[in-house]
Amino acid sequence: MNLVLEGLEDYCRAHTGKLDELYERLRVETYANVKSPQMQVGQIEGRFLKLLAQLSGARKVVEVGTFTGYSGLSIAEGLSEGGELHTFDIDPIATAIAKRYWDEAWWAKDKITLHLGDARALLAEYLVSSGPIDMAFIDADKGGYITYWDAILPVMRPGGLIVADNVLWSGHVLAPQHEDDHHIVAFNQHVAADSRVEAVMLSVRDGMFLARKK
C-alpha cells in the first residue's frame, strides 16, 4: 500500500528517472499473472535502489526477497563494473519470471545469482564465505526480518548500506493487531536500537529503513 496521496505519487513519478521499457513489461506481467502483485517495487523505489547502489559503489549486494525481479533489475543497473547481486527467494513461480527478464536485460544477466529455497538457511550458508557485503535489501517474510538483519550486518563492510522495505506496513505500525504488524514493529525497534548503524526511516511507498554500518 502506498501511504503518499495519489496525486503526489504521480508527481514524484513524473520527476523521477525514466525506465527502460522492460520494467513496464515486467510490471504488467506481474500484475496480470502473479498473486499479491503489489509486493513488486515500483519506479520510485526501484530508481532509489539503483541510485543507492551507484552512490555506495556497490560491488557485492545481497537481496532477501526476489519476487518477480524488479528490485533485482534496479539494483543490478546501479552496480559497479564486475558487481554481483545474490538474491534469495523460496517461490519458483515468481522467480521464473524474474529470470526471464534478467536474461533479457543487458545490465543484469551476468550480475545476478538466484538462491532458490529457504532464505534463512541459504543466506546463512552464503554469508560464511561471501566476504564483505556492500549493500543489502530486505523485502521478504516479515517474521524473518530480524533474523536477516542480524545475519547480514556483521558481514557488511563499514559504510555499507542495508535497506529494509515495508517498515510502515500500510500504517499498521501505529496500531498493530496482526502477527506481521507486530513483526514489523519489533524489527523497527530492533534497528532503531542497534548502535552498529546510523539509520533513517523514510516514507517512500510503504516505508523504507536506510541504515549505514558505522
Distances (CA, A) of 98 to 28, 35, 39, 73, 117: 13, 14, 14, 9, 15
Mean local confidence (pLDDT), 107-136: 96
CATH of the domain at 208: 3.40.50.150
Pairwise CA distance, residues 166 & 10, whole Å: 20
For the chain, the straight-line distance linking the first and the last C-alpha, in angstroms and rounded, comes to 32
Structural domain for 130, as ranges:
6-213
Place of cell 515500483: 42
Examine residue 65 and state whether it is found in any structural domain, yes or no: yes
Closest to 184 in 3D by CA, of 196, 195, 172, 201: 172
Pairwise CA distance, residues 147 & 192, whole Å: 15
pLDDT exceeds cutoff 70 at 188: yes
Examine residue 157 and state whether it is found in any structural domain, yes or no: yes
Examine residue 194 and state whether it is found in any structural domain, yes or no: yes
The predicted structure's pLDDT at residue 4 = 59
- Here the cell at position 187 is 524489527
Examine residue 180 and state whether it is found in any structural domain, yes or no: yes
Give the pLDDT confidence of 30-79 residue by residue, as tens digits: 999 999 999 999 899 999 999 999 999 999 999 999 999 999 999 999 99
Examine residue 1 and state whether it is found in any structural domain, yes or no: no
Q: Mean pLDDT in the chain?
A: 94
Contact 95, 23 (CB under 8 A): no
Examine residue 60 and state whether it is found in any structural domain, yes or no: yes
Mean local confidence (pLDDT), 173-196: 97
Q: Which residues pair with 211 in a beta bridge?
A: 162, 199
pLDDT exceeds cutoff 70 at 2: no
Question: Rg of the chain over CA atoms, in angstroms?
Answer: 16
% the chain with pLDDT above 70: 97
Give the pLDDT confidence of 122-144 residue by residue, as tens digits: 999 999 999 999 999 999 999 99
User: What's the structural domain count of the chain?
Assistant: 1
Pairwise CA distance, residues 59 & 56, whole Å: 9
Pairwise CA distance, residues 115 & 214, whole Å: 28
Contact 70, 38 (CB under 8 A): no
The predicted structure's pLDDT at residue 13 = 86
